[in-house]
A and B are shown apart, each in its own frame.
Chain A
Amino acid sequence: MKINTNNYEEYFLLYIDNELSGEQKAAVELFVLENPAYQKKLSLLQQTILIPASIEFEDKILLYRLEEMESSLPTSFKQTLYRKETKVVTRFFGTYSMRTLSGIAAILILLFGYKFMHSISTAQNNSEALANNTNSIKTKSNAGYLNKTSNKPNNSSISTISKAASKIVYTTSIVDKPQTIIDPSEKKYNRPTQNENTIASAFVITNAPEDIVKNVPPITTAEPITSSEVLLASESKEAFENLNTENPDRVIYIANMEIDGDKLRGITRRIGAFIKRNKTEKEK
C-alpha cells in the first residue's frame, strides 16, 4: 500500500507510534521529503508524544521482598509452641509420696480392722459368758420353780410346762447338784439337735426309772413347745452360737451399719497386694 494524500494521516500516526516496519517508515519519510507541506502535519503529530517524565517510586523498600521478611520458622520450633488441650489423668498412686501415704493408711486400716474384729470377738465371748451365767441362773430358777410345781401338780400353770422341764426336774432330783446341770447343757447346745435329743433321752433313760421314762418321751420338734421354753432355747442358742469364719455370707454389724465381710476382706487383700508390689518394685 502506497502513501498518498488520502491516507497519509494514518501512516503518520502509525509512524509516531512506532508501529511501522522499517520499509514503511522509510516510505513515510520519503513521502514527507517529496511533500514538504505534510512535514508540518507530521511534526504536529510528533508533538503529541509525551516525553517520559523522571518520576520515581520513592518507597521501593515497601515493595521489596527480603528473605528475612519472608523467613518462616521451622516446623519443629512451631511444634514446641503448640498447645493441645488434653484431659489430665491423675493417678492417685502415681507419686512416691502418695504411695507411701497409701501404704501407711493401709496399715492403719489393717490395725483398726484387727482391733475392731478383736473387739467384736471379745464382745461375743462376753455375751457368751453372760449368757452362760443367765442360763445357769435361769436353769436354777427353773429348777426351783419346777421343783415347786412338781410338788403342786394340780396347779394350772404347771400343766403348761413341757415334759422337758420334768426331765430337768428329774435330773436335778437325781444328781442334786445344780452346777452339774450346766455342764451337760453347755455341751448339749454345741451339738446338733438330733444328738441333743438322743443324749437327753439317753440321759433320762440311764438315770430315770422306767415309769418316768415312759412319761418323759424324747424331745422332738413335732411336740408343742411353750413360750417360756422357746425363749429359753432361743436365748441360749444365740448366746452360744460361734462365728463361722468360713461362711461366705459373713456380715459385720457396726452399730446400725451393715458391712459385707467379703468386700472388706477383698479390700484388705488388695491393699496387701499393693504394698507387696511396691516393695518388690523398690527392691528392683
Chain B
Amino acid sequence: MNEDIARYTAAVTAALSDLPVAQREELLEDLPAHLAEVASEGGSLVDRLGTPTAYAAELRATLAPVPRGHRFTVEPLLARWRPVDRRLGPLFGHERFTDFAVLLRPAWWILRGYFAAFLLAAPLGGGGPQALIPRLGSSLLGGLVLTAGCVLGSLWLGRTTAVNRRRGLRVFGGIATAVTALFGFVYLLNADGNLSGSRPAPAYAEQSSTSNVVLVDAQGHLVTGVRVLDLDTGDWAAVRVYTCDDGGIAAGLLSQDDWSWRYPALAQYCARLRGQNGFPTPDLSATGSPAGSPAPGPSVSPSAGAGPSAGPSASPSPGPSATR
C-alpha cells in the first residue's frame, strides 16, 4: 500500500512539475499522509481518486491565482530556508525556528521604538553620540516622553501590521523598520567606538574661555611664534595647554587627581615649579604689546580636535602660565 502511495504521489508531483518549487512543495507537503488516510478507507487509490493526472489537474484548479506583474519573488529563497528552519527549530524548543523568532517580535518592536526616538531627536541635538536616552533639545524628561511615545507607537505598528494585511501600512512599516535598523546599527557602532576608548572623551568640563594668556619661558621672557611638532606624524600638532597656576594645578580645568593621573610627567613638572620660589614675572616687552592684551604670537590655543597626547608634550616647554 505504501508503494501505491509513493507511486501516486510521484505521478502527481510530476504532473505539477511546472509549478514554482516552493508552491509545489507547500501544496504537496501533506499529500502522502492524506493519501494514506484515503487508502485506509479501502480500495486502490486510482479506484477512489481517479488517475494521478486528473488528480493533479483538480489540485491545480484549487491554487490561488498568481498575481501578475510580480516578476521577482522570494519563493526560491524561502524554499531553501524551510528545511534549515525546521532543523534549527528543535534547538529552540519549537517545530520551526520561525515560530521562535515570531515570539521575539515584541522585543524587536520595543528596540525599534527606542532607536526611532534617537532618530527623531537627532535633528534637535538629542544627546551625545553615546547617550543611552535621547534628549529633546537638552531636556531629559522630553527625551523620556519621546522614547515612551516611540516605543508605544512601534508596538502599535507591530501589532497592527501583524493582524492587518493592508498593503500601504505594511510598506510603511517595512520602510520605517529598515531606516531605523540602519540608523540603530550605525548608532551602536558609534557608541561602541566611543565607549571602548578608541576616542576617550575629555574628562574635564568645558570652561569659559580664558583670555589674557601668554606663553613665557622659564626666565619669564615671552615666547612667540610657537608651534608644536607632532613627532609621530611630522605635522604641526593641535595643542591643548594646561596651566600650573601658582600653587594649584590647572585651576578650573582638571581636578588635581584626574590631571596628575592622566599626565604624570606634567604633574611632576608643575610640582617642581611650585618647589621653586614663585614664578618669574613675564617680560612682555619682547612683543611691545601692552601688558594684559592677548599675545598674538603663540599659536597655542584650545583646539577641539586635539588628542590628549598633545597636551603633555606641549606643556613642559611653555612654563608657568599657559592655559587651554
Our verdict on whether A and B bind, yes or no, reads no
